[in-house]
Amino acid sequence: MDRESGLSGTGITAVVLAGGKATRLRPLSLSRPKGMVPVLNRPFMEHVLAYFQQYGITRVVLALGHAAEPLEAHFGDGSRFGISIEYSVEDEPLGTAGAVKKLEPVLHDTFIVYNGDVYTTIPLDELIAVHRAREAVATIALTPVDDPSQYGVVETDDTGGIRRFIEKPKPGMTSANSINAGIYVLEPGVFRHMNEGFVMFETDVFPSLLKAGAPFYAHDYDAYWIDIGTPEKYRKLNLDLADCIEPGEGGSGDAKDARVVIASDALVHPSAMLLPPAVVGPGTTLMEDAFVHRSVLWEGCTISERATVRDSVLADGCVVGPHSSVSRCILGEGTHIAADTVVSDLSMP
């Protein structure tokens, strides 16, 4: 059976674009696809699926290319996570819209396209309601940014209709500061604006919709939104979520008190200090007088005696030597910080 043909039932389907090679997220993505990179020690894609479930969306298609096998092995048909998952795997890159065009035979009703790099609290139910009230063929979510010069800005009229897209505007080109948030509510009619092969929403489909005068809208949300495409943004997401941990939440472990999560098999010396928020992964060891604050430690890390870790994310198997200090860093798998070393503001392979 073709892997996309198994979709069944009713309701809105979410298509998650997760086929990129995640080169910007290295070193964390060197040994796993972005969807499997842990956020609070759970694969990032688990957070995305939980987001859909908040809004009653239980049918998801993961559009994959690079390193699809780890995601398929972990998530299976989705039943373990209370959601139905299908997979569409590209033999060659098809672009953001080409990956969706491939699914045209099984997308017969309103559906969502979601950028698999994004974590957000944008209310999907509201976005869908606005889309339907306007009888739109396409509605995109927007999010404000402080500096729009690094993004594609979207200008809208008073009704939410899209006027134009401006890529990386120079000062004075526009007063708009809202960018494409990577979440689209679409109708099957949008497929008329997609060719076969490599097609991009941003450069092909959206300009076609504007040229045709199609009912194409955008809606602004001042909600939490972040693209985890870079190590620094990935670190920010982990620490932002760690700040919100409550007892019983936060990853593969138990919250010992508010905003401190320790895996059941982690070894923490009685003199070690965990200042919340902190997440300690399975098999990790904190030795005598080790200090960890506002940090996330993956599996099998060692924080040696009198070592300090602050505002950082440490991947599997990292070792911080005795009397060393790590702050505002991302350490890739197996990184070893020698004794009596101070490291700050780095992303290390």
Cβ-contact 200, 299 below 8 angstroms: no
Higher pLDDT, 149 or 301: 301
Cβ-contact 29, 71 below 8 angstroms: no
pLDDT of residue 31: 67
| Max intra-chain CA distance, the chain | 68
pLDDT of residue 209: 95
252-274 confidence digits (pLDDT tens):
444 455 678 899 999 999 999 99
pLDDT of residue 16: 97
> Is pLDDT above 50 for 5?
no
- The domains of the chain are located at 13-229, 233-348
The pTM of this model reads 0.88
Domain 13-229 has CATH 3.90.550.10: yes
Cβ-contact 116, 35 below 8 angstroms: yes
288-331 confidence digits (pLDDT tens):
999 999 999 999 999 999 999 999 999 999 999 999 999 999 99
Confidence band, pLDDT 50/70/90 cuts, at residue 26 = low
For the domain spanning 233-348, the CATH number is 2.160.10.10
pLDDT of residue 7: 36
**Element (DSSP H or E) covering residue 156:** strand 152-156
Compute the average pLDDT of residues 320-344: 95
pLDDT of residue 167: 81
Higher pLDDT, 161 or 170: 161
pLDDT of residue 169: 80
Read out DSSP for 284-313?
A: -EE-TT-EEEEEEE-TT-EE-TT-EEES-E
Among 63, 67, 51, 53, which Cα is nearest to 18's?
63
| Alpha carbons 263 and 242: distance in angstroms, whole number | 15
